[in-house]
Each structure stands twice: as C-alpha cells, then as structure tokens.
C-alpha cells in the first residue's frame, strides 16, 4: 500500500490531521469529484508550510495521479481575493516541484494540472456552491483571456451538499462534530464545548477512532483555531485605539501575520510605526 507523504513542518488543524490519513482523503476527494479512487491510488501530500493565508493555514495540497489539488477548509468569510492567493500558492508549489535549472532547457516540463477547492464551514449564510474566478479581478475586461483560475467553493455545514456527506462518512462525521461544538457554544465556553462535542460524537459512533486517538490534540487544535478570530479582532481594535491605520490591505495583512507570530499590541504598534 502506498504511503502518504506529509509535510510535517505544516501546522496541523483538525481538518488537516483528519484528512491527512490516506483513506479519508481519498474518500473525501471521491465525494467532491464524483469519481471513485481505489485504496491503491498513489497520493503525495505536498502542503507548503504556513505560507500565504495569514491565519488560514489549515489547507492540504496533494498530488493525485496527474493532478495537483489544493484543498482548504475555510471557517471565516470567503475572501474574494482567494483566486489571487491560489495563484501565488500554485506558483510556490510549482517552484517546489520543478528544478529551476530545467526551466532553461528546450524539453517541455510536464507538471500536474491544478485544481482549487474550498470547503466552507463558517457561520455566515453561504450557498451550497460558488465559484470565484481570477479574471473577475482583472482591471480590463478583454475578449481574449490568456489566464484564468477558478476556485470551487462548497458549503460543508450540516444540511448543505448532502450528497457529498452521503458519499463521505468521514466528511459527514466532521460536519457533525463541528455542528456539536457550535451548538454547545450557545451555553458554555469554547474548551468545554469541544470536550463535550468529543464525548457526544464518540457516544454516537462518530469519528470514534480518530477522536479517541487524538482527543487532547483535537481540543488544543480547535481551541487555537477558533480563538484566532477573537484575537485578531482584539488586536486590531487595540491598534485602532492607538491610532494605527489598519484600513489599508497591506497593514491588515501585516497585523495578521504579526498576531500569528505572537506579537503583542505594543509590539505591533512599534513595528508598524518603524
């Protein structure tokens, strides 16, 4: 059986940990693509370490047959700049796959064709399916389009895209687990909500093997993931109170990057003021 190669420098989330298991990833992609991939299908996980996505680093990139698939779970509002981010990500992936010296040779270099998928799991209302196109960001719209990149977004909140959940019991279990946490949060703190969701799902025979093997890690990973949005809001508010302009896109991105690295509001202010 072919082993999945994983980039261990990449910071895991529950999503990446769950779907970095070969059988789970094959099942999920089969449900998304509508194809059926046998257990013998070769997969290589080529996720890049903590690049590009600011606080959104829980993605999986993998090569399956002749395709390079970038798969992301998105728990916040889907950003309209996702195609542009994916373009940069793809460039970094190809840079890793291709020896730069070969770019100057006459022989054509063959690379896996890319596919970009976002699984939306946020709280805001979102359709079952949506596409974002790179060309929507072009300043001039011409009949001749020489570059396009399409990001396919699927809503995986419980009750959406039921056909995918039926085809992938692991995805369905993940949806149930996240739904349990969200429901628990209505009456308790986050850490309690996670612990109870783990117990409830195990009692319902949902993701039992995964949750029993990684229970403490799951709690810590989700606690960190879900707290980042609150941390960003607090730090940005502190920055506003200190008179730092966070309205510009470059400042927002820089602030988010500094927060990820553990900088305090005072450190951020000092850094931005130079």
Per-residue burial over 169-178, b if 16 or more Cβ lie within 10 Å, else e, is: ebbbbbbbbb
Q: Where are the chain's structural domains?
A: 14-197
Q: For residue 8, what pLDDT is reported? A: 39
Question: What value does the mean pLDDT take over residues 234-246?
Answer: 57
The answer to which of 30-34, 122-126, 179-183, 242-246 has the lowest mean pLDDT is 242-246
Q: Are 156 and 121 in contact (CB under 8 A)?
A: yes
Question: Structure tokens of 11?
Answer: 């910071």
Q: Are 153 and 160 in contact (CB under 8 A)?
A: no
Distance of CA 226 to CAs 70, 122, 173, 185, 190, Å? 22, 11, 19, 11, 8
Residue of 153, 159, 194 lying closest to 177 (CA atoms): 194
Residue 244's pLDDT band (cuts 50, 70, 90): low
Residue of 86, 163, 157, 82 lying closest to 126 (CA atoms): 157
Give per-residue pLDDT as tens, 9-43.
445 688 888 998 889 999 999 999 999 998 889 99
Q: For residue 118, what pLDDT is reported? A: 94
Rounded Cα distance, 53 and 50, in Å: 7
User: Would the CA dihedral through 243, 248, 251, 256 be positive or negative?
Assistant: positive
Whose structure tokens read 């996670």? 194
* Residue 234 C-beta-side C-alpha neighbours within 13 Å: 10
Q: How far is CA 37 from the centre of its chain?
A: 22
Q: For residue 75, what pLDDT is reported? A: 72
Alpha helix (H) residue ranges in the chain: 14-19, 22-33, 82-97, 162-167, 169-184, 190-203, 208-213, 215-241, 249-260, 265-273
State pTM to two decimals.
Answer: 0.76
Give per-residue pLDDT as tens, 46-57.
888 655 444 444
Question: Structure tokens of 28?
Answer: 């999920």
Q: For residue 100, what pLDDT is reported? A: 86
The answer to which of 79-83, 238-242, 245-249, 260-264 has the lowest mean pLDDT is 245-249
């Amino acid at each position: 059986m072919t082993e999945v190669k994983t980039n261990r420098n990449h910071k895991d989330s529950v999503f990446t940990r769950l779907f970095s298991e070969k059988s789970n990833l094959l099942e999920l992609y089969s449900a998304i693509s509508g194809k059926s991939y046998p257990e013998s299908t070769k997969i290589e996980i080529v996720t890049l370490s903590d690049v590009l996505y600011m606080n959104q680093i829980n993605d999986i990139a993998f090569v399956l047959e002749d395709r390079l698939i970038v798969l992301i779970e998105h728990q916040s509002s889907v950003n309209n700049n996702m195609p542009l981010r994916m373009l940069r990500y793809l460039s970094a992936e190809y840079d890793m796959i291709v020896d730069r010296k070969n770019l100057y040779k006459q022989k054509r270099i063959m690379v896996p064709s890319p596919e970009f998928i976002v699984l939306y799991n946020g709280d805001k209302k979102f359709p079952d399916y949506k596409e974002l196109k790179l060309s929507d960001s072009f300043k001039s719209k011409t009949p001749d389009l020489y570059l396009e990149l399409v990001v396919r977004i699927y809503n995986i909140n419980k009750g959406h895209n039921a056909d995918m959940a039926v085809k992938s019991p692991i995805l369905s279990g993940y949806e149930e687990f996240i739904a349990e946490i969200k429901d628990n949060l209505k009456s308790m703190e986050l850490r309690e909500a996670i612990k109870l969701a783990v117990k409830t799902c195990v009692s319902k025979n949902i993701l039992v093997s995964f949750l029993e093997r990684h229970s403490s890690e799951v709690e810590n990973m989700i606690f960190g993931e879900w707290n980042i949005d609150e941390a960003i809001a607090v730090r940005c508010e502190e920055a506003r109170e200190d008179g730092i302009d966070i309205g510009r896109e470059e400042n927002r991105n820089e602030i988010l990057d500094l927060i990820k690295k553990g900088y305090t509001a005072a450190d951020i202010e000092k850094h931005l003021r130079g």
